[in-house]
Amino acid sequence: MTEVGFYHLTATPLERALPKLLERVIEAGKRAVVIGGSEARIDSLDTALWVYHPQSFLAHGTPSGGHADEQPIYLTTAEENPNGAQILVLVDGIEPGFIDRFERCLDLFDGKDGEALEAARRRWRERKEAGHSVTYWRQAENGRWEKKA
């Protein structure tokens, strides 16, 4: 079964938190596919990965850029894995039916949005009942992740 980590955003917006998590994925020698809820979200994340740090960027691609199989990080709205990723990253409450095809799934949600929080709690229960290993990470005030469960 897939290890599913729930990441409760409380200190920084997704566009600042996601690049740091993806850095860790790349450092571990893995690939990631990020699934967002809209083209606007994918465009926002695309920009964030290019400009999040003045002296670096995270190599990535989107459907409009082509060469999906060559991208270490692939941003999409579709349920797909064209780059052979081992890590699945979900934002906007996306619930694909294929998380069991990945080593790990990161489910990022906005802790300041009551509906998003309730939906994440439901997904936690569903993933746990399905036999996945689940963990819960919450941002500290400084933006660092703290494992809570």
Position 7 pLDDT exceeds 90:
yes
DSSP designation for 103: S
Which pair of tokens denotes residue 36? 């967002």
Delineate the domains of the chain, giving CATH numbers in brackets: 3-147 (3.40.50.10110)
- Which pLDDT belongs to residue 75? 98
* Burial track 70-106 (b if 16+ CB lie within 10 A, e otherwise): ebbbbbbbeeebbbebbbbbbbebbebeebeebebbb
Tokens of 23: 């850095």
CA dist 29 and 86 (Å) reads 10
Mind listing the pLDDT tens digit for each residue in 123-137? 999 999 999 999 999
Q: What is the pLDDT of residue 52?
A: 87
pLDDT the model gives residue 48: 94
Would you give the distance in Å from CA 82 to the centre of its chain? 16
Res. 18 pLDDT band, cuts 50 70 90 = very high
Specify the pTM.
Answer: 0.96
Helix (H, G, I), strand (E, B) or coil at 141: coil
CB atoms within 10 A of CB 137: 19
Q: Which residue has the higher pLDDT, 149 or 144?
A: 144
- For 23-82, the pLDDT digits (tens) are 999 999 999 999 999 999 999 999 999 998 888 789 999 999 989 999 999 999 999 999
